[in-house]
């Protein structure tokens, strides 16, 4: 679903290392314009056009707050100052009467101020108001692509990739010639640098980056961008009232064709693995939980199967044993009871590297080896839940723990009868956190996370984010990683905009692009589609039939102590399966993506010698996918390829093609 993890989450962070130079004065976003008169940046030799938004301004602080040295994030400080400005008599009331919303941006170090009733006059007033605040260092332009409803923030930063034969002293001379401050050399192969400009700011950064891109020493140059969906939430889930349910966790005794894993009591709810129980009970029109309990011990032949046939695949596989799947995403609580036995562990090495102390992966947001929530993030989340007045607690948790939700679809392996099984229950998960608490991924973090995962031996990289415009940094990184690791497979979600327009990184060459389907075999209403889709997989629809059509997976807040002094969740009224959020219902291409990653892991598990290249593996995945039981709705165009790519993935058929 950066873009959006159901805008989702698909989306969507350099931290202290990429903070803008504090010497810049507060600058109006319209104060400097490119010399060309047009707004665009170069994607190699092609211009990506942009337009200036009139409803938002991004703000940087004079002193960058950090979770380690303050308990008050910058966006809250800014919100307090704006409220004081609207009521104070000692300062001009430039913000008086403006309806504003302040949100965190870039790991909470920046802030985004939205006008709820925008026009140019109000935007000018907001700029003047913000310029007077003592804690504000600079104002950043907020743009969007034409015909897109997104927010593209342009920091005072440019990503430059120098040609490989350029010596360090030549690179230094180039940076001095253009009056750049070096922020850092990126942890990528080649000569790729992140720099801050002293000679330009605001939207003039675009023009400067375009000028640099034309120089003979350069492979490419482009502005660093922070891309946010219009909703600023990567899960396209609307709060709704659902029928109250009392979900029974029934018996699984006497299961026919039992796989080499214990059948947990929640397996009948996981229709994406085997839809037979749920479809059978829906057809019987009886009380669902009682029906599921009764038929959990047998499988009936039905004319419709809209799952991936995982149970049948398990009969002929080792469950992905020996396969490493990197999950690049938000917080990954790998100590969840259903995940902890499948977590990656770094082998000890005395060689120095860029990721000191790593054991179970890396956190690119806080730049440390812990992908689980920190104490600061825990307090932040708890406060958000306590302050929740709109009933958005579940959405808050789904966004923050998006990585935990994704990991559960791939690799859950409950050691208890009450738990879940993932598509590949024996796979190893490499946690790589690159999304902040709001689900936003920085371009630099995305690129570094991809190369990090490849160098740590990942067989598959799951990227349940998207919606970004094309950018040379990601294009180059993906191409280099695939070239260096011919057996590595990258998988990404198509996006949740119900659009035919290509979404990135899913549409980059060499990435498996995944659309989403529902229990009924339809293209999910939110799923992007078009000729660029490779395959589809169950992504769910939490409204059809009711919540049961969602994807059930692992949540991030199962500990009792997390909920002290906080009202627990209300199963049956939103997306929580249980009061503590140990398990959650979700939907989106963000969750179709890990289904496909899990199927690929099962396939790789049967290719222990790694004879199959990534191209051959993906070819088998496509050739064994099927249009059986898929349906097209709301369209006269009966082109299955257009809506479903090569079809719904079939784990059983894919494994047979390998074996």
Q: Fill in the DSSP letter of residue 580.
A: T
Residue in the structure block whose two tokens are 């082998």: 347
In terms of CATH, what superfamily is 150-154+247-659? Peptidase S8/S53 domain (3.40.50.200)
How do beta strands 10-11 and 3-4 pair? antiparallel
Q: Which residues on adjacent β-strands are paired with residue 585?
A: 552
User: What are the residue ranges spanned by the domains of the chain?
Assistant: 3-149, 150-154+247-659, 157-224
Instruction: Point out the least confidently predicted range of 12-16, 272-276, 318-322, 597-601.
Output: 12-16
The closest of 213, 271, 538, 540 to 420, measured between CA atoms, is 271
Q: pLDDT-based confidence at 301, cuts 50/70/90?
A: very low
pLDDT in tens, 520-550: 899 999 999 999 999 999 999 998 888 889 9
Residue 257 has pLDDT above 50, yes or no: no
More reliable by pLDDT, 481 or 286 = 481
Q: How many CB atoms lie within 10 A of CB 258?
A: 13
Distance, CA of 93 to CA of 525 (rounded, Å)? 45
Q: Which of 76-80, 123-127, 652-656 tops mean pLDDT?
A: 652-656
Distance, CA of 174 to CA of 495 (rounded, Å)? 39
Give exposure, 56-76, as e/b (b: 16+ Cβ within 10 Å).
Answer: bbbbbbeebbbbeeeeebbbb
Q: pLDDT-based confidence at 112, cuts 50/70/90?
A: very high
More reliable by pLDDT, 108 or 615 = 615
Segment 103-123 shows an average pLDDT of 87
Q: pLDDT-based confidence at 450, cuts 50/70/90?
A: very high
Q: pLDDT-based confidence at 262, cuts 50/70/90?
A: low
Please give the backbone phi and psi of residue 601, each rounded to the nearest 5 degrees, phi first: -65, -40
Segment 555-576 shows an average pLDDT of 90
Q: pLDDT-based confidence at 510, cuts 50/70/90?
A: very high
Give the per-residue pLDDT at 242: 41
Confirm if 9 and 494 have CB atoms less than 8 A apart.
no
Q: Which of 218-222, 380-384, 629-633 tops mean pLDDT?
A: 218-222
Q: Which of 4-18, 449-463, 572-586 tops mean pLDDT?
A: 449-463
Q: Fill in the DSSP letter of residue 546.
A: G
Please give the backbone phi and psi of residue 657, each rounded to the nearest 5 degrees, phi first: -65, -25
Distance, CA of 522 to CA of 15 (rounded, Å)? 40
Segment 483-490 shows an average pLDDT of 96
Q: pLDDT-based confidence at 495, cuts 50/70/90?
A: very high
Segment 353-357 shows an average pLDDT of 89
DSSP letters of 556-575?
S---GGGGTTSPPP-TTTSS
Residue 44 has pLDDT above 80, yes or no: yes
The closest of 552, 237, 576, 573 to 405, measured between CA atoms, is 552
What is the distance of C-alpha 251 from the center of its chain?
A: 35
Please give the backbone phi and psi of residue 597, each rounded to the nearest 5 degrees, phi first: -60, -40
157-224 carries CATH number 3.30.70? yes
Instruction: Point out the least confidently predicted range of 199-213, 227-241, 431-445.
Output: 227-241
Give the per-residue pLDDT at 369: 95
What average pLDDT does the chain have?
A: 84
Q: Is 145 left (phi over 0), alpha (psi -120 to 50) or beta?
A: beta
Give the per-residue pLDDT at 393: 85
pLDDT in tens, 81-100: 888 765 554 555 677 778 88
Residue 415 has pLDDT above 80, yes or no: yes
């Amino acid at each position: 679903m950066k873009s959006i993890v159901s805008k989702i989450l698909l989306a969507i962070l350099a931290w202290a290392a990429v903070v803008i130079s504090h010497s810049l004065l507060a600058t109006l976003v319209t104060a400097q314009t490119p010399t060309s008169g047009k707004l665009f940046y170069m994607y190699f030799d092609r211009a990506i056009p942009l337009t200036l938004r009139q409803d938002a301004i991004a703000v940087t602080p004079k002193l960058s707050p950090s979770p380690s040295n303050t308990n008050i994030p910058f966006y809250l400080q800014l919100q307090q100052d704006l409220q004081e400005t609207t009521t104070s008599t000692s300062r001009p009331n430039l913000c008086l009467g403006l309806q504003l919303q302040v949100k965190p941006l870039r790991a909470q170090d920046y802030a985004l101020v939205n006008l709820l009733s925008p026009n140019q006059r109000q935007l000018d007033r907001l700029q003047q108001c913000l310029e007077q605040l003592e804690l504000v260092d600079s104002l950043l332009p907020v743009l969007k692509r034409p015909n897109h409803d997104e927010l593209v923030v342009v920091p005072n930063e440019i990503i430059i990739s120098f040609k490989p034969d350029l010596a360090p002293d030549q690179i230094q001379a180039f940076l001095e010639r253009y009056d750049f401050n070096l922020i850092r050399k990126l942890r990528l192969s080649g000569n790729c640098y992140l720099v801050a400009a002293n000679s330009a700011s605001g939207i003039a950064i675009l023009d400067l980056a375009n000028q640099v891109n034309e120089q003979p020493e350069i492979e490419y140059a482009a502005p660093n961008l922070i891309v946010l969906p219009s909703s600023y939430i990567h899960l396209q889930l609307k709060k709704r009232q659902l029928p109250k349910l009392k979900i029974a966790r029934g018996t699984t005794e006497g299961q026919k064709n039992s796989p080499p894993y214990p059948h947990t009591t929640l397996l009948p709810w996981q229709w994406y693995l085997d839809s037979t129980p749920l479809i059978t009970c829906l057809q019987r029109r009886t009380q669902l939980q009682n029906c599921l309990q009764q038929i959990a011990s047998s499988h009936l032949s039905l004319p419709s199967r809209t799952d991936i046939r995982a149970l049948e695949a398990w009969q002929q596989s080792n469950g992905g044993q020996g396969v490493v799947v990197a999950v690049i995403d938000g917080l990954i609580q790998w100590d969840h009871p259903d995940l902890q036995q499948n977590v990656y562990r770094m082998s000890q090495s005395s060689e120095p590297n860029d990721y000191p102390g790593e054991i179970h992966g890396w956190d690119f947001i806080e730049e440390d080896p812990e992908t689980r929530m920190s104490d600061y993030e825990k307090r932040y989340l708890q406060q958000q839940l306590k302050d929740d007045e709109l009933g958005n607690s579940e959405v808050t948790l789904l966004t923050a723990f998006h990585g935990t939700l994704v990991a559960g679809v791939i690799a859950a392996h409950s050691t208890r009868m009450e738990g879940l099984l993932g598509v590949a229950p024996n796979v190893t998960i490499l946690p790589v956190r690159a999304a902040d608490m709001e689900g936003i991924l920085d371009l630099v973090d995305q690129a570094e996370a991809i190369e990090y995962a490849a160098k740590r031996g990942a067989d598959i990289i799951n990227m349940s984010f998207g919606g970004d415009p094309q950018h040379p940094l990601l294009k180059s990184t993906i191409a280099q990683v695939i070239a260096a690791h011919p057996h590595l497979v990258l998988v990404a979600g198509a996006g949740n905009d119900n659009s035919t327009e290509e979404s990135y990184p899913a549409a980059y060459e060499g990435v498996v692009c995944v659309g989403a389907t529902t229990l009924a075999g339809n293209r999910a209403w939110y799923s992007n589609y078009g000729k660029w889709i490779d395959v589809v997989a169950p992504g769910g629809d939490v409204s059809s039939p009711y919540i049961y059509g969602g994807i059930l997976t692992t949540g991030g807040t199962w500990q009792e102590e997390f909920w002290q002094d906080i009202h627990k969740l209300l199963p049956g009224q939103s997306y929580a399966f249980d009061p503590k959020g140990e398990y959650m219902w979700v939907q989106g291409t963000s969750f179709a993506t890990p289904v496909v990653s899990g199927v690929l892991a099962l396939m790789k598990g049967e290719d222990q010698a790694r004879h199959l290249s990534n191209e051959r593996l993906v070819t088998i995945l496509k050739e064994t996918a099927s249009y059986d039981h898929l349906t097209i709705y709301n369209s006269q165009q009966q082109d299955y390829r257009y809506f479903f790519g090569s079809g719904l993935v079939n784990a059983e058929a894919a494994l047979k093609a390998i074996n």
